[in-house]
A = this chain, B = another copy of it.
């Protein structure tokens, strides 16, 4: 998928919502636990109930790997289900990978070829040759951590490095990498005021914004500072949507929560474009 296609989908759906798929067997409705693949059944129901309100799905690989081979099979079924039934939707493997070059190439193959995701999240600590193997894939997108939404973001990401915060240095440096046009960035919603500075460095890039919902960020604040003239935002919400109910109505309730966010997004889009 190209960023242009993603942009068109956002305008058409009036949504820049991405639903995070973090399936936890201790949190999903009890009646699903009797099925053969509870994780997939849960994801499938959430996807079917929300696909017209969201432009992206972001399975978090940890929540599949925790269940071993069975979990990896659920991940494969989930991405296949999205690609077969809703091929226009942007898919993100939230995997936070990154290693030396030949290893990153294998991770890129895993997520871009074997699983056929549109994008994958990566960590920047190991630098250029740990990220460029991902960037080499045409029409695939590499979403690099810049400023995350957790408390630990302030341990290293905001350290002063040569007069600027580390995460800004990460953004600046990454722009010099080969095929950097395939980069997007993770920027946490819990620090909306940071978006203004970030937009000075990466005005055109898509930003994946976690931290709305359960993590407490404000959508209007994020849009105020982070939106560009192509929208340029993918706002992720996971727990607030997928765990809106633990009952048999979980998919319906997930839709209600997704609809609330989408309606807020539609108002913002209508007021700006």
Contact = CB atoms under 8 A, between A and B. Distances in A.
Given A127-B154, A127-B157, A151-B128, A60 B103 contact: yes
Interface residues of A, number: 59
B123 A151 contact: no
Contacts of A173: 155-156
Chain B CB within 10 A, most for which of A22, A149, A151: A151
Interface string A148-176: 11111111110111100010011001000
Given A66-B109, A66-B114, A123-B96, A160 B157 contact: no
A75 to B, nearest CB: 9
A62 B166 contact: no
A125 B125 contact: yes
In the complex this chain forms, how many copies of it are found?
2
Contacts of A154: 127
A118 interface: no
A217 interface: no
A104 B123 CA distance: 14
Interface of A: 22, 24, 60, 62-63, 65-69, 71-73, 76, 94, 96-104, 106-107, 109-110, 114-115, 123-131, 145, 148-157, 159-162, 166, 169-170, 173, 210
21 contacts: A24-B106, A62-B97, A62-B99, A62-B106, A66-B110, A68-B76, A68-B115, A72-B72, A96-B98, A96-B123, A101-B150, A124-B125, A124-B156, A126-B145, A126-B152, A126-B153, A127-B151, A127-B155, A130-B150, A159-B166, A160-B161
